[in-house]
Amino acid sequence: MVYDISQGKMSVKKYRRFFYSLPEVANRPEEELIALAKAGLKEEIRQGLKKEEFATLDALFEEAEEVEEGLKETPPSTSQTPPHKPDHRSSKRDASR
């Protein structure tokens, strides 16, 4: 049976519990579980991980929780560019001709 093992809107803590509850977890090598869990994390959390490889599944989830906490403390940056103001100078020049 195929499961959707992505984090979706779950917190890392809930995703961790969900992941460990899957029947397949008992039958797969830890390296494979690490790859599956990592691929299922939200993209911004995956990108925030400091390591590429993890010795254990618990190590992956612990670092993912730290990244998630950091993201909560630092909200995504919004664009700081001022709104575009139309340039009316050319129309004034054209009117004086």
* Residue pLDDT, tens place only, 10-65: 999 999 999 999 988 889 999 999 999 999 999 999 999 999 999 999 999 999 99
Residue 20: per-residue pLDDT: 95
pLDDT at 82 exceeding the cut of 60: no
Phi, psi of 8 (to 5 degrees): 60, -130
pLDDT-derived band at 77 (thresholds 50, 70, 90) equals low
Q: Within 10 A of 20 (CB to CB), how many other CB atoms are there?
A: 14
pLDDT at 84 exceeding the cut of 90: no
Q: Report the predicted TM-score, pTM, of the whole model to 2 decimal places.
A: 0.72
How many helices (H) and strands (E) would you count in the chain?
A: 5, 0
| Separation CA 52–CA 74 (nearest Å) | 23
Q: Can you list the alpha helix ranges (DSSP code H) found in 10-82?
A: 12-21, 30-40, 43-48, 57-73
